Amino acid sequence: MRNEHDKDNSANIGRLVTLLFGLPWVEITAEVWKIGKKLWRGWANEGMYEVLEYNVTYELKDVKGREAHFHKQEKVRYVQDNIISYQDQAWGEGEILLNYLCSPGVKADEYQLGHKTLILISLQGMKRRGDTDEFNIEWDLRNAFLRPSEYCEVEISHRTKKLSIQVVFPKSRPPRQALIIENTRRKTHVLGQEAVRKLPDGRWRVEWRTDHPRLYERYILKWDW
């Protein structure tokens, strides 16, 4: 008798599960859950602004790699209200952040976080959602590119639409080979001759561009010279 009772209970549970999962609200709940997760991921990754264009240039000033200049042009659109500051970041070997300049805004603070130096820029005003700014930031480097094989990198910390990285070389020491490395994905791409251009003044430039770079990826431009 007990076995028959257990069988009846199992059958009843099976019918209940079938009935419940056959109801439309179960499908609706599942869809709501999926949409909710997507929205949450979007909000979590939104940050204070999105980057419309991000252009980075390293200029090697001498054949020994002792003196260099960095310039960053970053066009951003704010996605929150009441933004009063912008955070810049830098890292690298040798002496960096020499003769630091930024526009718009003024440098308000600087502190170390691991291998990075974070720079707080006061916007000297309040930005609202939808406002745009184009930041031009530059500094000098010393003894940063002394080896025959060197690199520079860009870390994507906000949603970005367009990215370009370029390195300018002295006319008497052009690059022999250049690569792009996607650090997180562990992928390497050899840059062809189309990425190398001789400038009118005789110097050489390696440039790499991409649309919609991956969030939190580190793009490394490595070269032999």
* pLDDT tens digit sequence for 40-54: 444 444 589 999 999
Q: What is the pLDDT, as a whole number, of residue 158?
A: 95
**Which residues are registered as beta bridge partners of 103?**
136
**Which residues, 6+ apart, have CB-to-CB distance to 183 below 8 Å?**
153, 217, 218, 219, 220
Q: What is the pLDDT, as a whole number, of residue 37?
A: 45
Q: What is the pLDDT, as a whole number, of residue 81?
A: 96
Q: What is the pLDDT, as a whole number, of residue 23?
A: 53
Q: Which residues of 86-109 are buried (b: 16+ CB within 10 A; e: fewer)?
A: bebebebeeebbeebebeebeeee
Peptide bond into 104 cis (omega under 30): yes
Q: What is the pLDDT, as a whole number, of residue 175?
A: 97
- Asked if 78 and 129 count as a contact pair (C-beta separation under 8 A), the reply is yes
Q: What is the pLDDT, as a whole number, of residue 24?
A: 58
Which residues of the chain register pLDDT less than 70?
Answer: 1-46
Q: What is the pLDDT, as a whole number, of residue 47?
A: 83
Q: Which residue from 127, 86, 126, 91 is spatially nearest to 107, judged by alpha carbons?
A: 86
* Stated pTM of the model: 0.79
Residue 116's alpha-carbon distances to 31, 61, 77, 192, in angstroms, are 41, 24, 24, 31
Pure H helices in the chain: 2-22, 24-46
- Asked if 148 and 137 count as a contact pair (C-beta separation under 8 A), the reply is no
Q: What is the pLDDT, as a whole number, of residue 153?
A: 96
**Which residues are registered as beta bridge partners of 135?**
74
